[in-house]
A and B are shown apart, each in its own frame.
Chain A
Amino acid sequence: MLAAASPGFLSPTGVEIAFLLVGIVTLGAAVVTVTTRQLVHAALWLVVALGGIAVEYLLLTAEFIAWVQVLIYVGSVVVLLLFGLMLTKAPIGRSPDADSGNRWAALTVAIASAVALVWVVVDAFRATWIRLDTVQGSTEVSGRSLFQYWVLPFEALSVLLLAALVGAIVLSRKKGEPPAASEASATSTPSVIAAPPAASAASAASGTSAAPAGGDGDTAGPAPREDR
C-alpha cells in the first residue's frame, strides 16, 4: 500500500521464495506445453502448469479457488483435451508439423509484448505490498460473497452452462439425422447413446461444463432444468 512501508526485493520472505520457485516450475511447464512436438506430452505438461497455478492460489490464501482450479482444470479440462487429441487421431510420437510456419513472427510478438508488459507492471507495482496475514479466500468467505452479492450472475452462468451443454450435444450429432435443432434438448439423450465416438466426447464435454455449476453450489442444479 505505502511505498515507504514496503520491504525491498533483496530480503524476500518465505512465501515469496515459495511463490518464486513454484512460479519458475509453472512457467517452465507452460513453455514446454507450447513448444513440445509431442501432442500428448503437451497436455500432460499443461497439468503441471495448471497445478502450479493452483499452488500459487494457495500461497495467495485463495484456497477455495485453488481447489476449484484442481477440480475443473486439472480434473476435467485436461481430460477433455486428451479426449480431443485421441478422437482427432493425433500422432503419439513426435509430429514434425506441430508448429506452423509463422513461429518466428509469433516469437517476436510474444517477446515484444512480454517485455512491454513486464516493464509496465514492474514500474507500476514495484512498491505494492500484499498483506497475507488473514485468509482472503476461504470457502466460507467465498461462499458468502458468492451467494450474497453475486447470486444473479451465478444463476445466469448456470443458464449459460446449460446452453453450452445443449450446444455441444447439438453440434456433435451424427449427420444423417433430421435437422430438428429446436427439439434437440428433448431428443438429445437417445442420440447421444446411439452416436459413436464424437458424441461420447461431447457428452463428456457437457458433463464437464455442468460440473462447475454443481461444484460451486447445489442451487445451480435445479434452476436451469426448470427452464427447460
Chain B
Amino acid sequence: MHLAYPAVLAVLLFCTGLYGVLARRNVILVLMSVELMLNAVNLNLVAFDVWLRDTLHAGQALTLFTIALAAAEIGIGLAIVLLVYRNRGSSDLDRLRDLAERADDADAADRDPQQPDTKAEATA
C-alpha cells in the first residue's frame, strides 16, 4: 500500500477536527473534535510504524499510550465540564468569558459575583 493513503487520510481527519475545535460552541462537541485529531495522529503513528518495520515498535507502543492518555483526558475534561455546568448552568464556550479582557472596565461589577465562584472552584 502507498504510504500516501493513510497519511492523506490522517491529514484530512486532523483538519476536520481542527475545524470542529474552532467552530463548535458546546464544550463536549469540542472534546469530540479533539478526539478526532488524536485519532488522526494515531493513524499516522501506526502507518509509519508499519512502514519502517521498527524492531522496538515505537509507533504502536506510542499509539497505545496515546489512546490511554486520551481516555484520561476525556475523563478529566468531562469532570471539568460538569463542574463548570454545575457552577454556571451552561456549557457554552462563548459565555465563559471571565478570563477575557474587556474594552470597557467592568471590574467593580465583576469582582463581587466572581469571588464565590473562584473560591468554590479552588476548593472543589
Contact = CB atoms under 8 A, between A and B. Distances in A.
Contacts of B25: 97-100
B21 to A, nearest CB: 8
Q: Which 6 residue pairs are nearest across A and B when measured between Cβ atoms?
A: A34-B20, A106-B22, A205-B75, A110-B19, A164-B72, A212-B68
A100 B109 CA distance: 26
Interface string B1-19: 1111111110111111111
A72 B71 contact: yes
Interface in A39-69: 39, 42-43, 46, 49-50, 53, 56-57, 59-62, 64-65, 68-69
Interface residues of B, number: 73
A69 to B, nearest CB: 7
A62 B42 CA distance: 12
B53 to A, nearest CB: 7
Contacts, number: 298
State which size class the interface on A falls in.
35 or more
B79 A172 contact: yes
A43 B33 CA distance: 10
A168 B75 contact: yes
B1 A13 contact: yes
A122 B74 CA distance: 32
A52 B104 CA distance: 49
Contacts of A100: 23-25, 93-94
Interface in B22-45: 22-29, 31-33, 35-36, 39, 42-43
Interface string B73-108: 111101111110110000111100000000000000
Interface string A158-191: 0011001101101111010001010000000000
Contact of A137 (B57, B76, B78): B57
A55 to B, nearest CB: 11
Interface string A1-25: 0000010010001011001100100
Given A130-B51, A172-B82, A146 B28 contact: no
